[in-house]
């Protein structure tokens, strides 16, 4: 290559890397950093409502694509539905017969999450066990369903299942092993948000959206109240992503549009000790109290399903708790000997389909561009599972980029996330410093690019 060409190339690379360094700074940025001298935004500004699993993963996706991202959350990270979920990293087995679409999404994302957050997953697999003859009849359908959805599943002997799980009901008739896992919802979100922050995103917790700013029918920003200072503020942005989970309908109503979503609550009961190593499922269609997810030193029995009006006002029906304990005993008889450590309930955002009961509603997700309702600058992403949060983020980010006319590819499939411990460190006061240990994952930058 002639010399002059070399220097031109080098020049381009230099300019590129200089810009790159700017994005890499990893420090909170002011409006000026994102604007030209004339005050125009050079990078489109996207605001995400909600810092649950969907909002967190979307913040990471869009920030990695180079957009300016602000997340608004009324409480702490994972304050709503994500925080109180069942912690199950779905293999898809639970839905492979009744909801193959969701099952396929689950197994695909399960494998991706193993790559991008290996430090935050208990990977001990799961068992589907048959207790009654009816369960046994379901077995073939289950195995066919798993095969159709590409969920790896294999039958293991009853003796082996009981050796692995000594507290399992000794009367089981069959056991099938699937790649279920367990995560921890709070740190799940923190890892996504820490990575987003490294890429320049601003995460504003304890900021409640009080209203949407509208120009005609179009959404142009949000009005927020800072719960720490009590100050009201208007934020003008290029696009608003509504990732408020079961509260998405409430937010969308502020723009005068609707989201076909049914907040559907479920009760979970955590025990005072851990009685199983693997996730235990009843080998049948999903129903109440048919799954026990172990996590740390506890086992969590779940769950029920009923539609609620206001996701903020859920009273735990005592009979649901009793049902968890009685149903849980079918899988692990020792459940009745163990004191209850905690009980919780939260609403899932399920997408409404006419004439279908809450338990049968698909656990898949959907992205709504409210341009269809005549409102521009506003999209809603809802439904889904925490397991599929990354895929939800990819889908809504693709839509956001299409709407903003940006051609940036999604790279979240192969990007290992930063340490969740970075999330608070990036934000807090820096009056003390501790040197990271050699090979400290949390001090290295190379992990997220």
Query: At 337, is the secondary structure helix, strand, or coil?
Result: helix
**Angstrom distance (rounded) from CA 143 to CA 149:** 10
Among 29, 217, 285, 421, binds another protein (CB under 8 A): 421
Q: Which is nearer to another protein, 85 or 375 (CB)?
A: 85
Q: Near another protein by CB under 8 A, which window of 2-10, 195-203, 249-257, 337-345?
A: 337-345
**Binder among 186, 214, 325, 333 for another protein (CB under 8 A):** 186
**Judged by CB under 8 A, which stretch of 264-272, 322-330, 381-389, 390-398 contacts another protein?**
264-272
286-305 binders of another protein (CB under 8 A): 295-298, 300
Q: Establish if 441 lies at the interface with another protein (CB under 8 A).
A: yes
Please state the closest distance from residue 210 (CB atom) to another protein, in A.
Answer: 10
Q: Choose which of 11, 28, 258, 436 interacts with another protein (CB under 8 A).
A: 436
Choose among 24, 436, 65: nearest CA to 239: 65
d(CA 261, CA 259): 6
Q: Scan residues 187-206 and list those touching another protein (CB under 8 A).
A: 187, 206
Instruction: Determine contact, residues 295/140, Cβ cutoff 8 Å.
Output: no
170 is an interface residue for another protein by CB under 8 A: no
CB of 388 to another protein, least distance (A): 19
* Residue 304 contacts residue 269 (beta carbons within 8 Å): no
Cα–Cα distance for residue pair 53/82, rounded to 1 Å? 6
Nearer to another protein, 192 or 378 (CB): 192
Residue pair 375/219 in contact (Cβ under 8 Å)? The answer is: yes
Radius of gyration of the chain (CA): 23
Token pair listed for 42: 């050079």
Residue with the two structure tokens 């269609």: 285
Q: Using CB under 8 A, which of 20, 31, 233, 272 touches another protein?
A: 272
421 vs 449, which CB is nearer to another protein?
421
Only segment of 31-39, 92-100, 364-372, 423-431 that touches another protein (CB under 8 A): 423-431
Q: Is the dihedral of CA 250, 254, 258, 259 positive or negative?
A: negative
Tell me if 402 contacts another protein by CB under 8 A: no
Compute the least distance from the CB of residue 38 to another protein, in Å: 34
Q: Which stretch binds another protein (CB under 8 A): 1-9, 92-100, 266-274, 393-401?
A: 266-274
| Closer of 167 and 378 to another protein (Cβ) | 167
State which H helix or E strand residue 368 sits in. Answer: strand 365-369
Q: Is 14 in the site for another protein (CB under 8 A)?
A: no
- Binding letters toward another protein, positions 41-80, x by CB under 8 A: ----------------------------------xxxxx-
Cα distance between residue 315 and residue 344, in whole Å:
10
Burial 273-307 (b: 16+ CB within 10 A, else e): ebbbbbbbbbbbbbebbbbbbbbeebbbbbbbbee
Q: Which residue of 405, 414, 435, 446 would you call a contact of another protein, by CB under 8 A?
A: 435
DSSP letter string over 10-74? HHHHHHHHHHHHHHHT-S---HHHHB-TTS-BSS-EEEEE--SHHHHHHHHHHHHTT-EEEEE-S
Do 105 and 364 form a contact (C-beta atoms < 8 A)? yes
- The distance of closest approach from Cβ of residue 372 to another protein in the complex, given in angstroms and rounded to an integer, is 32
Q: Phi and psi at residue 225, in whole multiples of 5°?
A: -115, 125
The secondary structure of residue 358, as a DSSP letter, is: G
Query: Which stretch in 132-140, 283-291, 314-322, 378-386 sits in contact with another protein by CB under 8 A?
Result: 314-322
Show the binding pattern over residues 356-375: x = contacts another protein (CB under 8 A), - = does not: --------------------
What binding mask, one character per residue, do residues 216-255 give for another protein by CB under 8 A, x or -?
-----------xxxx-------------------------
Alpha-carbon distances of 127 from 34, 57, 105, rounded to whole Å: 50, 29, 20
Q: Does 155 help bind another protein (rule: CB under 8 A)?
A: no
Q: How far is the CB of 319 from another protein (least distance, A)?
A: 10
Residue count of the chain, please give it: 449
Q: According to CB under 8 A, which residues from 103 to 142 bind another protein?
A: 119-125
Smallest separation, CB 77 to another protein (Å): 7
**Non-local CB neighbours of 319 within 8 Å, separated by 6+ positions:** none
Q: Which of 39, 216, 339, 355 binds another protein (CB under 8 A)?
A: 339
- C-beta of 270: minimal distance to another protein in Å? 4
Q: Applying CB under 8 A, what is the total number of residues that bind another protein?
A: 85
């Amino acid at each position: 290559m002639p010399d002059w060409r070399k220097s031109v190339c080098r020049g381009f690379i230099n300019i590129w890397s200089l810009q790159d360094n700017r994005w890499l700074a990893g420090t909170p940025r002011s409006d000026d950093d994102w604007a030209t001298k004339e005050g125009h935004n050079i990078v489109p500004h996207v605001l995400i409502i909600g810092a649950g699993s969907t909002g967190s993963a979307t913040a990471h996706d869009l920030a990695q694509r180079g957009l300016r991202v602000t997340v608004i959350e009324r409480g702490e990270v994972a304050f709503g539905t994500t925080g109180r979920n069942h912690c199950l990293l779905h293999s898809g087995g639970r839905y492979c017969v009744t909801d193959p679409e969701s099952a396929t999404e689950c197994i695909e994302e399960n494998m991706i999450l193993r790559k991008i957050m290996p430090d935050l997953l208990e990977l001990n697999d799961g068992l589907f066990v048959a207790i009654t003859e009816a369960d046994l009849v379901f077995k073939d359908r289950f195995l066919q369903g798993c095969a159709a959805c590409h969920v790896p599943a294999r039958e293991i002997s009853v003796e082996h299942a009981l050796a692995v799980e000594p507290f399992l009901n000794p009367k089981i008739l069959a056991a099938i092993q699937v790649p279920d896992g367990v995560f921890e919802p709070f740190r799940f979100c923190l890892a996504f948000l820490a990575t987003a922050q490294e890429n320049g995103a601003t995460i504003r917790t304890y900021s409640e959206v009080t209203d949407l700013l509208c120009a005609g029918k179009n959404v142009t920003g949000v009005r927020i109240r800072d719960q720490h200072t009590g100050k009201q503020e208007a934020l003008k942005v290029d696009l608003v992503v509504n990732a408020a989970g079961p509260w998405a309908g409430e937010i969308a109503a502020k723009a005068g549009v609707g989201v076909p979503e049914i907040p559907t609550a479920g009760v979970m009961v955590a025990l005072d000790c851990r009685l199983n190593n693997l996730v235990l499922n009843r080998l049948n269609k999903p129903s109440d109290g048919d799954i026990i997810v172990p996590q740390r030193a506890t086992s969590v029995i779940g769950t029920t399903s009923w539609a609620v009006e206001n996701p903020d006002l859920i009273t735990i029906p005592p009979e649901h708790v009793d049902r968890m304990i009685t149903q849980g005993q079918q899988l692990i008889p020792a459940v009745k000997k163990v004191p209850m450590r905690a009980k919780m309930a939260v609403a899932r955002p399920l997408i409404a389909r006419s004439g279908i009961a809450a338990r049968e509603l698909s656990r898949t997700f959907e992205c709504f561009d409210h341009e269809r309702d005549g409102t521009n600058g506003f999209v809603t992403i809802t439904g889904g599972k925490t397991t599929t949060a990354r895929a939800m983020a990819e889908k809504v980010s693709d839509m956001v980029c299409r709407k903003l006319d940006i051609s940036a590819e999604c790279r979240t499939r192969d990007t290992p996330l930063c340490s969740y411990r970075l999330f608070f460190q990036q934000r807090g006061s820096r009056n003390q410093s501790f040197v990271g240990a050699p090979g400290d994952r949390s001090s290295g930058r190379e992990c997220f690019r």
